[in-house]
Structure 1
Amino acid sequence: MSRKTILVVDDEPRTRQGIKKTLETWSSGRHDILDAESAAYSIEILKKQKVHLLISDICMPEMTGLEMLDTLKKQKQDPVVIILSAYSEFTYAQEAIRLGVHNYLLKPVNKIKLIEVVEGALEFESSRERIDMIQRVVDHKLVDLKLEAKKDDSPITKAIKYVDDNLSNHLSLNDVAKHVHLNSSYLSVLFKEQVNMTFSEYVTRSRLQLAKQLLINTDKTITNIAEEAGYGTSKYFIKLFKEHEGLTPSKYRKLIPFEG
């Protein structure tokens, strides 16, 4: 599991410091454990840095834990949340779960239960983060296009299928035009009209989509992925990938490590 930031929010110093110390001992330096004495202060912390797991008391002066969660949602902040609740506040804890809180702990907090719930929350956060990243991998324009292409048997549909089946090979407009029995100039115009992107743009996007899938779903080398995606040299592939994705294939892979 990668390094995470955990924020403990409670206006009671003894409870807050006790939870923080327990987590620091359990973490042994693997994660960053922060604390805040109020909901307002915790909101300021989240504005400045990413917090993966938020552990917060419900009843605090000035702003309650639930009010804080509502504010964070409005600010598009979405850490995994564990709520701390006394028995008398159990109804609030139930409401918090309806608001999307991952779990809750009853006070006084049991150390073993705390660690168990925190470990589960961090696993949930990692899996949610991976799913979010995989969603970003998908080129939705290509997906919609391929779904639409399945509905007919036009020359453009055949051209798309030919490209998809030959991404690892050399692909030229002339090759595809011959395959679908059209003049290359006419195919170029028709492709742009019906697909709403140029032939070369479609090939590039399809190859990069394949490369991204290979990066996150296999442990193949960058060189092998470049070849499989139809690029003669890994140097050119890395340059093109960075131009389109904003980072190198290696750094991209680290965002969503292969779980094979």
Structure 2
Amino acid sequence: MNQANMTPEKELRCLEKLVGLNMLEKMLCSFSKSTGLKAILVDTRGNTLVSTDHEIKDCSFCRKIRSDSSGMRKCQRSYAQACTEAAKYGEPYIFRCHAGLIMWSAPIVLNEYVFSIICGQVLMWEPEDYFLEEIEEMVKGLNVDVSAVKWAAAQLEVMSSDKVQAASDLLFIVANQIMKSGMIVLEQRRNITAQQARLAEEIQARKRSEIAMRTIESRAFSINSLDKEHELKSLVRNGKKRAAHQVLENLLVDIIEINSEQIDTVKTRVVELVVIISRAAVDGGADLSVILQQNSLFYLELLKISKTEEICLWARGMLETFMNQDINKNQKNIIAIQKAAEYIQRNFRNKLTIEDISQVVYLSPCYVSRIFKQSLGCTLMEYLTHVRIEEAKTMLKDPKYNVMQVAEESGFEDPAYFTRVFKKSEGITPSRFKQYAL
């Protein structure tokens, strides 16, 4: 039966057969508990099929909008469009709903059926007067208290773009797992005893140490964990296996020590580590498609584990698999050169330095300069100048730009310097080039 002709009830029955609603609800609830964000599953018409209302309610702003039937229909249309767009591109789709909130959609495609997990109800900026005025325009025609809606808008959570991107990436991982129909055999457990002993020894050693006040310790713990995660990412990216395993051990001890009785929370934190490690592996030169496929298998394994010591053993195997990817130095250099070139092409209008470019590819300025020169036959600054000159030539052919405007728009701060560089490259001045081009 065509999905467009199915009722929401029939779609739910199909999901039950293809995925299993218990697993689906559990995954959505785990995501909501760990992120504090409401997640729902919708179809291509925007109908809500599965919701985490019993874990997290809609924000006050959304409840007020949806109290009106017309507002509810607009929400449904926003969800339908987000579901379609996410499925079209096969990746997370971050969008602004009809009422102005930031949300994101992760696609789920099961045979001929298309669904999407919707999450969000946040802002990416502090609400200012113009936004509140915009709210008034958006709710025009709805039977709602405009003042109350504005007040609710001012209370909305504000998330940075990095956090929104991280949450959408995590949601995408959850969506990918739902699309997998087979189950993978769990890792053999012959090393569990040794692993458990090592973790127990580390935990006991920490318990014997003198600790500060609980609130201070908690803050210090959070900062320390972030530092360790950054260190782990760097070690994986640079292929330092032994050191990466040690940092992972420390992080696992941290997680278990705080959440020893909350297995779902432990799993969620470990999923975050999977995201960090897999991204670092890709940055280090691993094949993205292979990494995404491996992520899917790992998550299916993790769902079946019920003990913390098994999770720790599983995590070690996961790190080992990622770091055993066949990555050679030349491949890493090619990827770094490509990223550097793409960064220059996107930002040539800005004032760029070799240090700026080297930070993007996680290499030292000297090293990235050397491999760029060896590979392309020109320096980073020569390539930057070439990109700017090509842009200038394009603009000079347009009669609406004069030479000074072209210099500024193509990244040259000094028109006189622009003229010298252009003549050296093209053999004629920009003014003469413009005369010939028009």
Which category describes the TM-score, using the shorter chain as reference length? 0.3 to 0.5
Give the greater-gyration-radius structure (CA).
2
TM-score by length of 2: 0.23
TM-score by length of 1: 0.39
The higher relative CO (CA closer than 8 Å, separation ≥ 6) is in 1
